[in-house]
């Protein structure tokens, strides 16, 4: 053999081995499916699934798993070109998951009667995809179906990068309102968002999670009291590249807590504060008066001859009278004033920042309003009057004394004939 | 020696290289780890590989990777005692060629054999 013939044979063998040992299945297939050429990877991949130990015809090998290959090749009109690109063939064909084997076939027509077929074992990839898909489905089911929660994510800068129904349900925002906007849009004031959100995200990154409670705004402007948990999302290198948020609407719980607080501090019948709250509030206001020197006064009032109302009309009528009076006083005082029922038919109004003259004026106003009040009971009208005692903090030692002086003034008003206002005059003045 | 002869294991073990080369079917001799220690003339002719290229290499992963699946390699690796015929296809010079493989392994012996004979499709 000549040197060149030897060289050619060696080159030929090198090429052959190159194709032969390629880790991808390589085949040359005729239009009728007969396998003209194939490398070792084809045997390794196809023999275990072939019906009989022969690799003569591709259509026969794929008769169960991918009978459509025959049609795909038959129906392909151009004389050359891509018949299919990365076409997946699953074993078993039924959609059992995960599949035992997944082959990915690419078929290229070289000439009218010659197709190059490549086969790749993509079982692992597809199983991984399935796993990923399933966990995504699970997350999505959670995202879409949780009630009273919103689960959402942002990028590193806190911009919303995903929208889901839970977010829509809780906040009223639609996809187009939310994507790309700063997560602070869920805060009450847009301008306060950076001050709230940035430290929150920093804390979450540092400590693994962070929680914040506060008002949030819905798209329609209505507010809800929310509890938000933030956790950092990390990339493959472990760097924070986003955040996951879980926001809960806990308005209802907060309302219940408030109701409980209210129940502990109010008089059940009239809705005025109870004596316990009066004492606490009184001490606070007295301390504030001491600290600031601002005036502080107290009006104590008592319904005249209330016993007669009860005796004549019954206790239900008496209750009606108490409720009506409480409603009237509540509507006549300022937000800072503290209105409380001492017990029985006796009430107190604590007036921070009001000097004795103002307190007397208020008492006089209330006296006239109460006198003008008429309450319908069983077709009759109940009318009644009340007496008032006023005291003011000057040289008074304590809130308790202030109440006591108002009580003395009230006694004086009663003694003087009722339906009047008396102010306490310290002895020697 | 015939391909399907009973009690072929002792014959293969005692055969000289010339006797192996005279056999009309392919004979691959391996150690228990699958490294090729003998490759007869018929097998060399069938595969187009010279013994020098093959000896010392791992048969299932380097020489004939097409057998590296549960039909052949896994059986040889996992079964202690084996005398089995397996219909298979070799792609000799890229041409799918039906063959019969005979796998021989015994716990009493240090060597394993893989015999190859062409068959009609």
- The ipTM assigned to this model is 0.79
Interface probe for B, chosen from A40, A49, A117, A121 (most Cβ of B below 10 Å), is A40
User: For chain A, which residues score pLDDT lower than 70?
Assistant: 1, 94-97, 187-192, 426-429
Chain B residue numbers touching A20 (CB-CB < 8 A): 91, 94
Identity of the residue in B86, B87, B91 whose CB atom sits nearest the CB atom of A38? B91
φ, ψ for residue B106, nearest 5 deg: -145, 140
The pLDDT value recorded for residue A147 is 73
CB A69 within 8 A of CB A49: no
Q: Is the pLDDT of residue B57 over 50?
A: yes
Interface test with A, best of B53, B65, B66 (most A CBs within 10 A): B66
The pLDDT score that the predictor gives to residue A190 is 58
Report the pLDDT value the prediction gives residue A216, as an integer from 0 to 100. Answer: 82
Q: What is the pLDDT of residue A19?
A: 87
- Closest CA–CA distance from residue B93 to any residue of chain A (Å): 7
A421-423 and A386-392 beta bridge pairing: parallel
- Tell me what pLDDT residue A31 has: 93
Which candidate from A19, A44, A48 shows the least CB-CB separation from B65?
A44
Catalytic residues of A: 345
Q: Can you give the pLDDT at residue A98? A: 72
B69: closest chain A residue by CA: A44
Chain A residues touching B52 at Cβ < 8 A: none
Residue A166 touches chain B, beta carbons under 8 Å: no
A27 to chain B: closest CA residue:
B94
Domain coordinates of chain B in residue numbers? 20-118
Question: What is the pLDDT at residue A420?
Answer: 95
Any long-range contacts for A158-164 (C-beta under 8 Å, 24+ apart)? A158/A182, A158/A183, A158/A184, A158/A197, A158/A198, A158/A201, A158/A243, A159/A183, A160/A185, A161/A242, A164/A140
pLDDT reported for residue A428: 39
DSSP string, A40-103: HHHHHHHGGGSSSS--SBHHHHTTTT-THHHHHHHH--SSSEEEEEEEEEEESSS--SS-SEEE
Which residue of A lies nearest to B63 if distances are taken between CA atoms? A21
Give the chain B residue whose CA is nearest to the CA of A25.
B66
Asked if omega into A98 is within 30° of 0 (cis), the reply is: yes
User: Which phi and psi (to 5°) does residue A103 adopt?
Assistant: -110, 135
Look-up of token digits 């002869």: B5
Could you say which of B65, B66, B94 has the minimum Cβ distance to residue A19?
B94
Instruction: Give all strands (DSSP E) within A218-287, no chain letters.
Output: 223-234, 240-249
For residues B7-21, give the mean pLDDT.
92
Query: Mind telling me how many Å the CA of A102 is from chain B's nearest CA?
Result: 15
Closest chain B residue to A48, measured at CA: B71
Buried b (16+ CB within 10 A) or exposed e, B19-49: ebbebebbbbbbeeebebebbbbbbbebbeb
Q: What is the pLDDT of residue B47?
A: 83
Q: What is the pLDDT averaged over residues B93-107?
A: 91
| Contact across the interface for A47 and B94, Cβ inside 8 Å | no
Q: Could you say which of B64, B89, B95 has the minimum Cβ distance to residue A47? A: B89
> Which residues of B fall within a CB distance of 8 Å from A24?
none
The whole-angstrom separation of Cα A364 and Cα A111 is 110
N-to-C CA span, chain A = 142
Q: Would you call B94 and A37 a contact, using CB atoms and an 8 Å cutoff? A: yes
CB contact (8 A) between residue B65 and residue A40? yes
CATH number 3.40.50.11900 is the correct assignment for the domain at B20-118: no
Interface of B with A (CB under 8 A): 48, 64-71, 86-91, 93-96, 98, 121
């Amino acid at each position: 053999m000549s040197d060149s013939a030897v060289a050619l044979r060696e080159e030929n063998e090198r090429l052959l081995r190159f194709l032969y040992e390629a880790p991808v299945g390589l085949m040359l297939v005729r239009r009728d499916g007969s396998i003209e050429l194939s490398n070792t990877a084809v045997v390794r991949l196809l023999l275990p699934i072939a019906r009989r130990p022969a690799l003569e015809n591709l259509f026969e090998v794929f008769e169960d798993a991918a009978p459509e290959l025959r049609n795909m090749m038959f129906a392909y009109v151009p004389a050359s070109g891509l018949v299919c690109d990365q076409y997946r063939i699953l074993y078993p064909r039924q959609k059992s998951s995960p599949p035992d084997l997944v082959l990915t076939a690419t078929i290229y027509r070289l000439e009218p009667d010659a197709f190059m077929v490549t086969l790749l074992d993509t079982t692992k990839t597809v199983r991984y995809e399935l796993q990923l898909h399933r966990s995504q489905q699970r997350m999505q089911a959670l995202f879409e179906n949780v009630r009273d929660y919103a689960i959402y994510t942002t990028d590193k800068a806190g911009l919303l990068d995903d929208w889901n129904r839970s977010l829509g349900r809780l906040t009223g925002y639609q996809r187009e309102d939310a994507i790309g906007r700063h997560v602070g849009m869920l805060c009450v004031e847009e301008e306060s968002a950076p001050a709230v959100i940035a430290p929150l995200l920093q804390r979450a990154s540092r400590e693994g999670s962070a929680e914040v409670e506060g008002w949030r705004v819905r798209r329609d402007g209505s507010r809800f009291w929310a509890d938000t948990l933030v956790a950092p999302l990390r990339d493959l290198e472990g760097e924070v590249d986003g955040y996951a948020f879980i926001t809960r609407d806990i308005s209802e719980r907060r309302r219940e807590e408030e109701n409980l607080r209210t129940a502990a501090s109010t008089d059940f019948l009239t809705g005025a504060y109870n004596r316990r709250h009066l004492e606490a509030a009184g001490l606070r206001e007295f301390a504030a008066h001491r600290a600031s020197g601002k005036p502080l006064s107290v009006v104590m009032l008592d319904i005249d001859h209330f016993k007669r109302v009860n005796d004549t009309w019954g206790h239900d009528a008496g209750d009606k009278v108490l409720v009506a009076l409480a409603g009237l006083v509540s509507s006549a005082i300022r937000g800072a004033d503290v209105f409380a029922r001492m017990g029985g038919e006796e009430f107190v109004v604590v007036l921070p920042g009001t000097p004795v003259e103002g307190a007397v004026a208020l008492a006089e106003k209330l006296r006239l309003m109460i006198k003008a009040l008429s309450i319908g009971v069983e077709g009759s009208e109940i009318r009644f009057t009340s007496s008032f005692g006023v005291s003011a903090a000057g040289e008074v030692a304590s809130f308790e004394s202030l109440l006591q002086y108002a009580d003395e003034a009230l006694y004086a008003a009663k003694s003087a004939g009722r339906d009047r206002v008396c102010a306490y005059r310290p002895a020697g003045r | 020696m015939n391909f399907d002869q009973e009690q072929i294991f002792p014959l293969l073990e005692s055969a000289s290289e010339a006797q192996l080369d005279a056999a009309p079917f392919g004979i691959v001799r391996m150690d228990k780890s699958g490294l090729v220690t003998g490759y007869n003339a018929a097998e060399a002719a069938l595969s187009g590989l010279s013994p020098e290229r093959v000896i010392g290499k791992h048969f299932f992963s380097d020489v004939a990777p097409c057998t590296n699946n549960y039909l052949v390699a896994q059986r040889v690796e996992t079964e202690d005692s084996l005398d089995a015929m397996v219909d298979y296809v070799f792609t000799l010079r890229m041409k799918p060629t039906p063959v019969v493989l005979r796998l021989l392994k015994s716990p009493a012996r240090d060597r394993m054999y893989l015999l190859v004979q062409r068959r009609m499709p």
